[in-house]
């Protein structure tokens, strides 16, 4: 989001170009995080988690010191107007997020199932030791995974910048939702994540219509708990042999 704020809102770069630039910039940060934090703490999950949380906290403080922690001016949307869908008016800026998300998910699926590097990445996720015996570099695959994660997170933040005020803490609510989606859908399952996102979105919309956003968030957590009770691996998750 801050990449778009700097390049588009302050620098005058075209919005699509600023969104595209968010991918490599945040991907490089993801690679640096893997090299400096995850790789040294690979054998200690708790240490890696604590180190990652510490980096996130430090970044939030640094950004807050530089730009301020209060609500900033929203990034001006380049796509004015709205569309009438079933009697509901939805801004064009929100609508373009849908095809952009479909493009990213489709591209990621093709990469993981068709590209040589994508297949190697899946092999490491399923059995790292067996993949290493076949000549796959675990360090390279971990760096690739962090680069992809950072790049897609960068694009997501860039697309949301004109929708929500850009602050150091704007991603907190989305992180919780993403966590629920991943757990409900099943670890390492893109199809499961898609199914879970649709179900969770429907639950949030339905509950918010009759109650409020707080109750909707509670309903999402309850939904996750029920799924884990019935199927601990998630809707489309599988148990590793």
- Only one residue has tokens 């170009």, namely 17
The pLDDT, as a whole number, for residue 73 is 58
Q: Which of 167, 158, 164 is CA-nearest to residue 16?
A: 158
Query: Token pair of 210, please?
Result: 């009759």
**In sequence order, what are the residues at sequence separation of 6 or more whose Cβ sits closer than 8 angstroms to the Cβ of residue 238?**
186, 189
Helices (H), the chain: 2-4, 15-33, 45-67, 92-95, 97-114, 116-126, 128-133, 138-160, 172-185, 190-210, 213-230
Read off the pLDDT of residues 27-73 as tens digits, 9 standing for 90 and up.
999 999 999 888 888 878 788 888 888 888 888 888 888 877 665 65
Output the pTM of the full model.
0.84
Low-confidence ranges of the chain (pLDDT < 50): 241
Measured CA to CA in angstroms, residue 177 lies from 130, 196, 199, 219, 235 at distances of: 33, 10, 12, 12, 16
Q: Which of 163, 188, 186 is CA-nearest to residue 174?
A: 163
The pLDDT, as a whole number, for residue 220 is 92
Count of other CB atoms within 10 angstroms of residue 165: 13
- Only one residue has tokens 């703490």, namely 41
The pLDDT, as a whole number, for residue 69 is 66
Query: Token pair of 93, please?
Result: 């800026």
CB 60 within 8 A of CB 41: no
d(CA 66, CA 197): 35
The pLDDT, as a whole number, for residue 125 is 85
The pLDDT, as a whole number, for residue 64 is 80
Query: Token pair of 54, please?
Result: 């510490």
């Amino acid at each position: 989001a801050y990449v778009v704020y700097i390049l588009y809102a302050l620098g005058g770069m075209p919005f699509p170009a600023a969104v595209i630039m968010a991918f490599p910039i945040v991907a490089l940060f993801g690679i640096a995080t893997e090299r400096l934090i995850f790789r040294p703490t690979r054998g200690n999950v708790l240490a890696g988690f604590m180190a990652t949380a510490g980096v996130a906290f430090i970044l939030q403080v640094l950004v807050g010191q530089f730009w301020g922690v209060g609500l900033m001016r929203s990034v001006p949307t380049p796509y004015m107007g709205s569309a009438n869908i079933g009697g509901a008016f939805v801004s064009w800026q929100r609508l373009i997020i849908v095809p952009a998300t479909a493009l990213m998910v489709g591209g990621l699926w093709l990469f993981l199932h068709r590209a040589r590097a994508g297949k190697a990445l899946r092999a490491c996720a399923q059995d790292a030791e067996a993949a290493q015996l076949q000549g796959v570099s675990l360090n390279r695959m971990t760096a690739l995974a962090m680069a992809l994660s950072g790049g897609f997170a960068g694009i997501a933040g860039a697309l949301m910048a004109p929708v929500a005020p850009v602050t150091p803490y704007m991603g907190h609510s989305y992180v919780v939702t993403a966590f629920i989606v991943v757990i409900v859908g099943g670890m390492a399952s893109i199809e499961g994540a898609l199914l879970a996102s649709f179900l969770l979105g429907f639950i949030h919309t339905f509950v918010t219509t009759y109650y409020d956003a707080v109750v909707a968030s509670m309903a999402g957590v309850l939904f996750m708990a029920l799924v884990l009770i019935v199927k601990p691996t998630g809707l489309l998750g599988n148990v590793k042999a």
